[in-house]
Structure 1
Amino acid sequence: MRRLIAVAMVAALFSSTGCTGRPARSAPEAARSTPVVDTSISTIDVLFLTMMVAHTEQTLEIVRVARAGITDTQLRTLVAAIEVTETDELATMRRWLRDAGPEVAAAAARHDHSGHSDAVAGLTRLRAAPAGQVDGVLRDVLSEHQRTAADLAKAQLKAGTSERVRDLARRIAQSRTGEVELMATLPGARQSAGTTTGSSPGRA
């Protein structure tokens, strides 16, 4: 399921109508606009930011729903770090989207991102998780969600044009991959992965 979601997100970056590598506006157009727009950003960059804003909002909802039921200390520490980091990233991405100008942001907003995440199903699982089982469900849900974020960021590294957006994508790819790897080492991770996703016991 995660792979299908990631493929849909990557396809949106590479082939959506209007998502070219051109700057969002030319310098003369920006000079005539108020407020001044960021002319270094392309519509592909804006699409990535729009998708990642939605994805990050879902991440924050996931960790907030699960926070009270977490029992493992390492997992609780990781969740706290994710909440701080992604809250800051979310503010940055929203600011960059505002800087891109209303016309470019509106063009990206026309893309339907509703099918690009498994967060709704994950949140349903978390809310239904009995006391004492939140850790395992959270590991599964958050690992899938962060893998998808890493896949989207890697696609942006191939398709994006803005160096600052590419730098953010690089950091997202590295951090989300690291988080998934860490969650795979936590107590019970392998057993949880094997029983809830159908993967072999040896897979994280």
Structure 2
Amino acid sequence: MRAFTHRTARKFALAGAVTAAGLLLAACGTEDGMSGMDHGGTSASASVTVSPSATAAGGEAGAPGAFNDADVMFAQMMIPHHQQALEMAKLADGRAEDPEVKKLVAAIEQAQDPEIRKMRAWLKGWGKPESPAMNHGGMAGMMSEQDMKDLAATKGEDFDRKFAELMIAHHDGAVAMAKDEQRSGGNATAKKLADDVVRTQSAEVAQLKKILDRL
């Protein structure tokens, strides 16, 4: 009876050890299986899948969603258009005299440089080239090389007056292109930028006309 008791006890002890080992292995397997899940915002939240059009060079946000030829043309044409506006604004340094002209120059630089980066990101996300097929000189409101030379040759009130005249024409061209995008574009993000261009540059045209009236 005593031998039976010892053998039985040993069997129960061995069975308990096996059970405990099995539970430990199961727990480890469960922990490994859960390692990729979100435990209060750990490893899973750090892994984000980004669509091809979501970001582009420089980390700029893309223009997600469907797009059409009008959206592509808008970005391709507005980039060099904005670039020329920035070139005109740079000429104001050391030449502009009127405080309101200087303030307007700063506003143009602040708005249009980020917009250029946005549109470049769109084109990259869409897999389209930055340069349009047409000549930049054929775009509405673009200044000729001679226009830019004449502007650079002026200073003080003469510069302020010529800058206002040329920028009115330049902005009018941008507004016309933006209105084309409003009518024909298909991408919501691109059309939103077109809305911004129409609103801000129309307001700046009105401001420039007032400046001309008093110069």
Matches of 2:110 and 2:160 in 1, distance apart? 19
Q: Which residue in 2 is equivalent to 1:177?
A: 202
- Tell me which amino acid in the other structure corresponds to 2:210: T
1:39 and 1:171 map into 2 onto residues whose CA distance is 19
> CA shift at 1:124, angstroms?
2.1
| Equivalent position amino acid for 2:153 in 1 | A
CA contact (8 A) 1:69 1:131 kept: yes
Q: What are the residue-to-residue correspondences of 1:119-134 with 2, within 5 Å?
A: 119-120=143-144, 121-134=146-159
TM-score normalised according to structure 1 size: 0.69
Q: Give the corresponding residue for 2:169.
A: 144
| Percent identity for Structure 1 against Structure 2 | 24
Aligned to 1:118: 142
Q: What secondary structure, in the 3-state scheme, does the structure 1 residue paired with 2:210 have? A: coil
Give structure 1 stretches of 5+ with no counterpart.
Answer: 1-34, 193-204
Q: What is the correspondence of 1:37-116 to structure 2 with a 5 Å cutoff?
A: 37=53, 40-101=66-127, 104-105=128-129, 109-116=132-139
Aligned in 2, Cα 1:163/1:39: closer, same or farther, shift over 3 Å?
closer
CA distance, structure 2, for counterparts of residue 124 and residue 191 of structure 1: 25
Q: 1:59 to 1:124 in 2, by over 3 A?
A: same
CA-CA distance at 1:173 after TM superposition: 0.8
In 2: Cα distance, 1:126 partner to 1:136 partner: 10
Q: How far did 1:52 drift?
A: 0.1
Name the counterpart of 1:164: 189
Quick one: distance in 2 between partners of 1:154 and 1:67?
31
Aligned counterparts of 1:165 and 1:118: Cα–Cα separation in 2: 21
What amino acid maps onto 1:36 in structure 2?
P
Deviation, 1:131, is 4.4
* Deviation for aligned residue 1:191: 7.0
Q: Is the 8 A contact 1:45 1:160 kept in 2?
A: yes
CA 1:73/1:130 → structure 2, altered by over 3 Å: closer, same or farther? closer
- Whether contact under 8 Å (1:39, 1:100) holds in the other structure is no
State which of 35, 40, 52 in structure 2 corresponds to 1:36. 52
Corresponding pairs, count:
153
Unmatched segments (≥5 aa) in structure 2:
1-50, 54-63
In structure 1, C-alpha distance between the alignment counterparts of 2:111 and 2:142, rounded to whole Å: 21
Counterpart amino acid of residue 174 in structure 2: A
Q: Which has the higher contact order (CA 8 A, sep 6+)?
A: 1
Q: Which has the larger radius of gyration?
A: 2
Deviates more, 1:85-94 or 1:112-121: 112-121
CA shift at 1:40, angstroms? 1.5
Residues 16-38 of structure 1: per-residue CA shift (max 9 Å, x gap):
xxxxxxxxxxxxxxxxxxx9345
Shift, 1:110, TM fit: 2.4
